[in-house]
Amino acid sequence: MEKSRSPKVGAWVGLSLLVIVILSAIVAVYFLAMAGAFELLGVQYESVWRLALFAGGFFLIGAVLDVLVNPLADILAGQVSGRAVSILVKIMLDTLSNWVSLFVMNVWVSSVLLSSQAMMLLAIVIALIEFGLEQTHSKQSP
């Protein structure tokens, strides 16, 4: 009986480790991108752990807001005429969502000092990157 279970356990452990490695790589890239953007914008922070808290909180709040804002953006983009206006609506709502996430984290994590201009610029850049990745993903899927 024990021998029949060990391959299943090994498969689950291997699959779990693979998922953990992939998620860790995604979080690492996200964190390093945030740290690089903060360095370029002159944002000051007390420690790397506070920056990690800021990035993690931004990621979680952004994920919740994306679930709420993306369907709204798709509905509004479908109601306007013209592809350029549709794209602009989506980017504007993504920018607003990112700005809200950044603002909440800026207030909550007081050891990270983000200026209003840096917050807006970062929100726009993140929205443009998200839109570009979304367009690339939609072209690849059937």
| Mean pLDDT taken over the chain | 86
With cut-offs at 50, 70 and 90, classify the pLDDT of residue 1. Answer: very low
d(CA 95, CA 126): 8
Say if residue 142's pLDDT is above 50: yes
pLDDT average, residue stretch 109-138 = 88
Q: How many domains does the chain have?
A: 1
Q: Which domain holds residue 109?
A: 2-140
* pLDDT of 48 over the 60 cut: yes
pLDDT digits (tens, 9 = 90+) for 63-99: 999 999 989 988 888 888 888 888 899 999 999 999 9
pLDDT beyond 70 at 117: yes
Q: Give residue for tokens 């740290």.
A: 35
Sequence-distant (6+) residues with CB within 8 A of 54 are 34, 45, 105, 109, 112
* Among the listed residues 32, 57, 30, 33, the one whose alpha carbon sits nearest the alpha carbon of residue 112: 57
Q: What is the pLDDT, as a whole number, of residue 3?
A: 56
